[in-house]
């Protein structure tokens, strides 16, 4: 079977590509390499075609989708901060690009499309854990663009019977995540700062908390979504670890794992930073059989080991 992974050279995408190839699938990885890297796909054991192209190019997307029975749509322009600075580009990539992928999947005969959405769509509600019945309240162009993508997926399921499944991902971390980007996620940035003997920077008081989700759990969820039965189609569901940790908790764990005396430097809280986030994962458990198999501590240990083994900058999310 042939499957298409958009953003396939990025952080999450390349981990998914590796898993699919190991299962014997013929994988087409579509990526413009603006944040992804060919290095992320080195050593993939299986049939892999890397197609370099822009998600905003409808013709290129359709060519990449030819023969694919399933599509995993991960290509996106991430970062709340970046979207505030450039909302037009964020919209073009994340909304127009998603529409291009949906049209291509439908016209080329794919029967399943798994869409990587974001917990950012919930905004900064104080109600925890966050479940899918709650009202959404996107605070940034990035969050709004991911919610628009969810709406298009639902519309294509209702209008064309395309089997879409939307996964709201909560703070994914793991190997291949870029610590050097201006928009780097907090865990790879912390690891790199500690490894280089620098004081980790915290924006705020460090008590803000997140449902940090190890990338292997996300990959597992995507594979489950691709084979899920009818009740999951057209639905949106949370993918997280089901437990939250503060940034100070993360630094404590990293200090234990690295043996470093970690003393953070505190900076002013960034605008639109969410105070706390935690996923209710009951719906994903019910509809696609999702359950996180790797704990936060296990995932953090694996991530530290990978970064210390290969500390050169790798790709960010795509």
DSSP conformation letters of 147-173 = HHHHHHHHHHHHHH---EEEEEE-SEE
φ, ψ of residue 42 to 5 degrees: the values are -65, 135
The answer to whether the peptide bond before residue 108 is cis (omega within 30 degrees of 0) is no
Is 142 considered catalytic here?
Answer: yes
Alpha carbons 72 and 58: distance in angstroms, whole number: 16
Residue 267 C-alpha from the chain's centroid: 26
State how far the alpha carbon of 184 is from the alpha carbons of 14, 161, 314, in Å: 17, 37, 11
Give the tokens for residue 23: 């299962």
φ, ψ of residue 242 to 5 degrees: the values are 80, 15
Which member of 142, 160, 183, 290 is catalytic? 142
Evaluate whether 171 touches 153 at the Cβ level (below 8 Å): no
Provide the 3-class DSSP secondary structure of residue 237: strand
> In 3D, which of 224, 104, 220 has the Cα closest to residue 162?
104
> In 3D, which of 174, 169, 147, 297 has the Cα closest to residue 221?
169
> In 3D, which of 283, 297, 302 has the Cα closest to residue 238?
283
Which sequence positions are flagged as catalytic? 142
């Amino acid at each position: 079977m042939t499957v298409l992974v958009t953003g396939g050279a990025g952080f999450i995408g390349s981990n998914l590509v590796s898993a699919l190839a190991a299962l014997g699938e013929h994988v087409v990885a579509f990526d413009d390499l603006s944040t992804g890297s060919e290095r992320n796909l080195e050593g993939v054991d299986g049939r892999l075609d890397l197609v370099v192209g822009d998600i905003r190019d409808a013709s290129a997307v359709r060519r990449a989708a030819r023969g694919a029975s399933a599509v995993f749509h991960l290509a996106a322009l991430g970062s709340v901060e970046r979207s505030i600075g450039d909302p037009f580009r964020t919209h073009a990539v994340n909304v127009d690009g998603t529409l291009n992928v949906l049209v291509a999947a439908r016209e080329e005969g794919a029967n399943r499309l798994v869409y990587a959405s974001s917990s950012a769509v919930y905004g900064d509600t104080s109600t925890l854990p966050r479940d899918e019945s709650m009202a959404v309240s996107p605070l940034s162009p990035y969050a709004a663009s991911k919610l628009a993508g969810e709406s298009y997926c639902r519309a294509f399921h209702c209008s064309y019977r395309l089997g879409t499944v939307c996964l709201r991902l909560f703070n994914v971390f793991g190997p291949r995540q870029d610590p050097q980007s201006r928009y780097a996620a907090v865990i790879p940035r912390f690891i790199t700062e500690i490894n280089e003997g620098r004081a980790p920077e915290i924006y705020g008081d460090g008590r803000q908390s997140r449902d940090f989700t190890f990338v292997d759990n996300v990959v597992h969820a995507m594979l489950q979504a691709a084979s899920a039965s009818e009740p999951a189609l057209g639905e949106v569901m949370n993918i997280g670890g089901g437990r939250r940790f503060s940034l100070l908790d993360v630094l404590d764990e990293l200090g234990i794992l690295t043996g470093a005396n970690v003393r953070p430097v505190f900076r002013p809280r960034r605008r639109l930073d969410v105070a706390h986030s935690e996923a209710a994962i009951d719906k994903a458990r019910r509809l696609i059989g999702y359950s996180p198999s790797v704990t936060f501590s296990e995932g953090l240990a694996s991530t530290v080991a990978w970064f210390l083994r290969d500390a050169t900058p790798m790709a960010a999310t795509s």
